[in-house]
Every structure is written in C-alpha cells, then in structure tokens.
Amino acid sequence: MEIKDAQKLAWENKTLKGFNQTDVPLEFGLLSAEVGEAFTAWRKGLPDLGEELADVFLYLTALAQMTGVDLGAEVARKIEKNSRRTYQRNEHGAHIRVSDE
C-alpha cells in the first residue's frame, strides 16, 4: 500500500467514526500515547507490537492529512536528504552530522 492511500484511508476512518479532525494538539498527544503503547509492547515482548506500530502509523498519517502534509512526498524527500548526509562519532560516541552532501 502506498503512503498516500493509507493517509486517505486513515482520514476516511476518522471521518466515518467521528474521531478528532480539527484539534492538532490533541492529535499530537494521541500519537505520542500510541508511541508509548508500541514501546511498552516491545519492552514487554507482547504479541501486539505490530498492531501498535500500525496504530502509530495510522495516527501519523491522519495527522499529516489534518495538517495538509503529503506524507509520502515528505518521506521520499527526507530519505533523499538523509542519503547525502555523513556522520562521525564524537568523543562520547554520539553520531554528529558533518555534512549534508
């Protein structure tokens, strides 16, 4: 499935079910809660990790739709941008970006 199709379906589901379609701060909060649920599923080795990650994706795509962002195009753009970046580890072992090209 294409990201744009998932974005459209997630939005249609929110509309059909009467879920939040206008409160952006609330949607960010709900997305954060879903990330927490996915982390808990992973940390505890629960069998529903995949479902929780799907929830994160669906909240993210709906938030993109709510804010007028073409998430598929933005993901493609960001992957291309990241591919040009180079990193080195600093004295603490953290990756530090040293170039964007």
The predicted structure's pLDDT at residue 76 = 96
Q: Read off the pLDDT of residues 34-89 as tens digits, 9 standing for 90 and up.
A: 999 999 999 999 999 999 999 999 999 999 999 999 999 999 999 999 999 999 99
The predicted structure's pLDDT at residue 100 = 81
Q: Considering the chain, what is the average pLDDT of its residues?
A: 95
Cβ atoms of residues 36 and 55 within 8 Å: no
User: Where do the domains of the chain lie, and which CATH numbers do they carry?
Assistant: 3-99 (1.10.287.1080)
Is residue 101 predicted with pLDDT exceeding 90?
no
Rounded-to-integer distance, Cα 88 and Cα 90, Å: 6
Q: CA distances (Å), 55 to each of 34, 49, 68, 96, in order?
A: 6, 10, 20, 31
Cβ atoms of residues 42 and 67 within 8 Å: no
The predicted structure's pLDDT at residue 66 = 95
